[in-house]
């Protein structure tokens, strides 16, 4: 097996690499000393038993091998460290296609990082833990705080996860394991009742993620829809988006106003009251409200309640809990108080529809969002897998083009990601001319400016996620599009970029919201930061493994860009089989998720019948877990 892998590496670099290709530069092929060191490490890495690409120093020859590599690493650092220009290396990496003339062989940054890791391992074996930690922390500084795309993962140097995991272990920060959620009674299927009643549904919010709860039921023709707040741009992509212009909209400055006093709270409430009064006076009838912001859900529910209007409310958080609102200690206290007041009427508060009555339901879009709410409030929240049935199209490839979606972000990641894939595309053309790549700009809406019908025609999609609850993944999955995503060691460095950027703007927000003396479960923080990689990497890996969309049937993972390109070019994947596995999984999830939404909406919109409801439903029997209706990921707590 080792011989085959080495032959693969040689063939990759000698037969297809171009003179201007950035990957040989990142591998330091032009520097003999560093190149020899990399080949020595490459042989050790291929002996990894778990296939993760991590270095393996187990076995009887470990000590001698490590001592030899450690001595070589120390020599290279002494001889070549001073000639390194990290600024020049970063400039080349930022614009790989425009900086060929600046590529200096001596700027072997990844070689230095690998040498620091190996020397640290040898120092640790000699009992010098502090010196080992110092080497590893220096290596992380060279990699940079924003380790999102982690370009080292797309070279033949050892994975940077070696350093992160070793440092975490040395500092006593083991990677936690996700636990399985609690099981609850089955829910009654209520589709027929909804079709008979056709409730009026008011959706209030700017984000198209709000389309999910009712799109799952749209095929039943059981709802009449009114949507306030969504933009024309988003409505252009969703056929179910029936936008209604408000007569007296809530001013944007009040929707995100930071509470500093009771007067601020009263001002915001009055604005929501004026909005609701204007709409109801003009003839709006509402049986059910759906909101994704706590402020929207709370005030609209409160205003309708004060007017003696029987309007049920679904609070469907699709973004980080209170991320744009709790900007002061006073504001966080007010919002937490409003949250608890709202969910005291939650029909799911005791675990199922048969256990409690109420006019409110709180349902999260993903396990991560559900756990972030629990982190702040102590309240277990159900999450229901998005079906994205609003996509409305199926995988119908009519070309050999692979769509590559790099992360949308304010940081440089999206730009550099496309640059590396462009370089890799040249290799793909050399290996198999039938394959092409499409690299759209990473700052456009929905799926980077494409209509769903256009996306469905690509041969496959490579998705570099930009956050942990990415809606685009579920949209692609719904059309049975063959998907390739980074593995968990790489994914763990991708999604925290959003939280890191946000944390710099609002430091210590999660401490303001989280009350240590409240008796809440002491689970991992949902706010790890790339500014503290050594401390927070175990938490990042915990969340990457917990969400586990990479474990869903039909999805393939890759550890590096060269590995992905080689596998696609050699036909290693059966794309039709991947698509079929997704179709089957979606059908299973649909049989669980649709009855859930139908039962929930029927319950909320039929208050008069609640007291006579039987304790056990007679419809489709599917277990409803706090973490995961419709999620199936073996061993990670989301299997139903």
Per-residue 3-state assignment (H helix, E strand, C coil) for 45-108: HCCCCCCCCCCCCCCCCHHHHHHHHHHHHHHHHHHHHHHCCHHHHHHHHHCCCCCHHHCCCCCC
Q: Give the model's pLDDT for residue 429.
A: 64
Q: Give the model's pLDDT for residue 411.
A: 44
Same domain, 426 and 462: yes
**Of 170, 198, 218, at which residue does a domain stop?**
170
Q: Give the model's pLDDT for residue 34.
A: 96
- pLDDT, one tens digit per residue, over 516-574 is 555 555 567 788 888 888 788 888 888 888 766 778 899 999 988 888 888 888 888 99
The rounded distance, in Å, linking the Cα atoms of 549 and 561 is 19
Q: Rounded mean pLDDT of 197-203? A: 79
Q: Rounded mean pLDDT of 78-93? A: 88
- Residue 85 lies inside a defined structural domain of this protein: yes
Q: Rounded mean pLDDT of 431-441? A: 72
100 vs 407: which has the higher pLDDT: 100
Q: Give the model's pLDDT for residue 275.
A: 93
Q: Rounded mean pLDDT of 213-223? A: 72
**Of 145, 170, 195, at which residue does a domain stop?**
170
- Residue 8 lies inside a defined structural domain of this protein: no
Same domain, 137 and 225: no
Q: Give the model's pLDDT for residue 11.
A: 44
- Which phi-psi region, left, alpha or beta, contains residue 518 (left: φ > 0; alpha: ψ -120 to 50)? alpha
Same domain, 206 and 163: no
Same domain, 150 and 165: yes
Please enumerate in sequence order all residues whose Cβ is within 8 A of that of 59, keeping only pairs 6 or more positions apart, or say none: none
Band the pLDDT of 385: cuts 50, 70, 90.
confident
- Residue 144 lies inside a defined structural domain of this protein: yes
- pLDDT, one tens digit per residue, over 286-329 is 888 999 889 999 999 999 988 888 788 999 987 777 766 677 77
The rounded distance, in Å, linking the Cα atoms of 173 and 474 is 32
Q: Give the model's pLDDT for residue 108.
A: 94
- Kindly report the pTM of this predicted structure: 0.83
Q: Give the model's pLDDT for residue 252.
A: 82
Q: Give the model's pLDDT for residue 201.
A: 83
Q: Rounded mean pLDDT of 354-381? A: 82
Dihedral over alpha carbons 31, 33, 37, 39 (to 10 degrees): 60
Q: Give the model's pLDDT for residue 614.
A: 44
- pLDDT, one tens digit per residue, over 15-73 is 444 446 788 888 999 999 999 999 998 877 655 556 666 777 766 667 788 899 999 99
- Residue 9 lies inside a defined structural domain of this protein: no
Cβ atoms < 10 Å from Cβ of 506? 13
488 vs 240: which has the higher pLDDT: 488
Same domain, 137 and 200: no
- Residue 623 lies inside a defined structural domain of this protein: yes
Q: Give the model's pLDDT for residue 50.
A: 60
Q: Give the model's pLDDT for residue 122.
A: 93
What the block records as the tokens of 4 is 């085959």
**Contact of 635 with 392, CB cutoff 8 Å:** no
Same domain, 165 and 192: no
The rounded distance, in Å, linking the Cα atoms of 381 and 401 is 41
Choose from 188-197, 226-235, 400-409, 437-446 the range with maximum mean pLDDT. Answer: 400-409
Same domain, 144 and 197: no
Q: Give the model's pLDDT for residue 15.
A: 42
Q: Rounded mean pLDDT of 162-187? A: 64
Same domain, 490 and 598: yes
Show the domain range for 106: 18-170
- Residue 330 lies inside a defined structural domain of this protein: yes
Same domain, 349 and 484: yes
pLDDT > 90 in the chain, percent: 25
Q: Give the model's pLDDT for residue 632.
A: 44
Q: E strands of 316-433, at which residues?
A: 360-362, 383-384, 401-405
Task: Return the minimum-mean-pLDDT range out of 100-104, 143-147, 222-226.
Answer: 143-147
Q: Rounded mean pLDDT of 623-628? A: 42
Model confidence at 225: pLDDT above 70: yes
- Residue 3 lies inside a defined structural domain of this protein: no
Q: Give the model's pLDDT for residue 376.
A: 82
The rounded distance, in Å, linking the Cα atoms of 301 and 360 is 9
Band the pLDDT of 491: cuts 50, 70, 90.
confident
**Of 170, 196, 220, at which residue does a domain stop?**
170
How far out from the chain centre does Cα 488 lie? Answer: 11
Same domain, 178 and 264: yes
Same domain, 339 and 435: yes
Per the structure, the count of domains in the chain is 2
- Residue 11 lies inside a defined structural domain of this protein: no
**Contact of 347 with 360, CB cutoff 8 Å:** yes
Same domain, 152 and 239: no
Q: What is the mean pLDDT of the chain?
A: 77
Q: Rounded mean pLDDT of 75-102? A: 86
| Pairing mode, strands 224-228 and 200-204 | parallel
Q: Give the model's pLDDT for residue 17.
A: 45
Task: Return the minimum-mean-pLDDT range out of 87-101, 253-267, 371-385, 431-445.
Answer: 431-445
């Amino acid at each position: 097996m080792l011989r085959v892998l080495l032959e693969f590496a040689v063939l990759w670099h000698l037969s297809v690499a171009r003179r201007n290709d950035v990957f040989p530069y990142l591998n330091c092929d032009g520097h003999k000393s560093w190149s020899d060191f990399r080949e020595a490490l490459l042989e050790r890495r291929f002996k990894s038993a778990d296939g993760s690409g991590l270095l393996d120093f187990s076995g009887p020859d470990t000590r001698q091998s490590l001592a030899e590599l450690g001595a070589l690493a120390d020599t290279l650092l002494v001889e070549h460290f001073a000639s390194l220009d990290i600024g020049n290396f970063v400039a080349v990496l930022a614009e790989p296609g425009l900086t060929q003339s600046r590529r200096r062989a001596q700027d072997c940054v990844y070689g230095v990082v690998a040498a620091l890791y190996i020397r640290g391992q040898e120092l640790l074996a000699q009992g010098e833990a502090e010196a080992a930690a110092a080497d590893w922390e220096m290596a992380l500084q060279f990699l940079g705080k924003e380790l999102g795309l982690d370009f080292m993962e797309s070279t033949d140097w050892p994975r940077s996860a070696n350093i992160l995991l070793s440092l975490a272990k040395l500092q006593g920060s083991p990677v936690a394991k996700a636990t399985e959620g609690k099981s609850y009674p089955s829910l009654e299927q209520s589709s027929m009742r909804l079709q008979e009643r056709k409730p009026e549904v008011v959706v209030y919010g700017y984000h198209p993620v709000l389309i999910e709860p009712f799109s799952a039921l749209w095929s039943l023709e059981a709802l009449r829809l009114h949507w306030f707040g969504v933009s024309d741009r988003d409505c252009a992509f969703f056929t179910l988006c029936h936008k209604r212009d408000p007569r007296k909209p809530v001013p944007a400055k009040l929707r995100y106003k930071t509470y500093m006093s009771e007067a601020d709270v009263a001002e915001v409430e009055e604005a929501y009251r004026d909005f609701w009064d204007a709409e109801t006076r003009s003839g709006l009838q509402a049986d059910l409200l759906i909101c994704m912001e706590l402020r929207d859900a709370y005030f609209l529910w409160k205003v309708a309640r004060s007017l003696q209007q029987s309007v049920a409310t679904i609070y469907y958080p699709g973004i980080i809990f209170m991320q744009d609102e709790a900007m002061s200690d006073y504001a966080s206290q007010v919002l937490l108080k409003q949250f608890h007041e709202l969910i005291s009427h939650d029909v799911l508060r005791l675990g199922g529809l048969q256990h409690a009555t109420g006019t409110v339901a709180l349902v999260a879009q993903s396990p991560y969002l559900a756990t972030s709410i629990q982190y702040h409030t102590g309240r277990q929240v159900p999450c229901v897998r998005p079906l994205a049935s609003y996509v409305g199209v199926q995988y119908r490839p009519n070309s050999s083009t692979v769509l590559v979606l790099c992360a949308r972000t304010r940081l440089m990641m999206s730009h550099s990601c496309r640059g590396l894939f462009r370089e890799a595309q040249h290799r793909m053309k050399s290996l198999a001319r039938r394959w092409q790549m499409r690299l759209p700009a990473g700052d456009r809406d929905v799926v980077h400016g494409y209509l769903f019908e256009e996306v469905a025609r690509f041969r496959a999609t490579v998705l570099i996620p930009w956050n942990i609850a990415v809606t685009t993944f579920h949209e692609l999955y719904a059309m049975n599009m063959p998907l390739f995503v980074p593995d968990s060691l790489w994914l763990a460095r991708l999604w925290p970029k959003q939280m890191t950027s946000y944390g710099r703007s609002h430091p210590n927000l999660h401490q303001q919201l989280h009350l240590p003396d409240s008796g809440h479960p002491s689970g991992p923080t949902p706010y790890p930061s790339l500014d503290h990689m050594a401390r927070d990497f175990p938490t990042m890996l915990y969340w990457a493994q917990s969400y586990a969309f990479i474990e869903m049937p039909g999805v393939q993972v890759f550890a590096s860009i060269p590995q992905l390109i080689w596998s696609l070019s050699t036909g290693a994947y059966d794309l039709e089989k991947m698509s079929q596995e997704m179709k089957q999984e979606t059908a299973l999830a649909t049989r669980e998720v649709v009855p859930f939404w139908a039962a929930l909406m029927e319950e909320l919109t039929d208050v008069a019948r609640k007291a006579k409801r039987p304790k056990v439903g007679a419809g489709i029997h599917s277990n409803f877990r706090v973490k995961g209706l419709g999620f199936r990921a073996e061993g990670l707590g989301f299997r139903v």
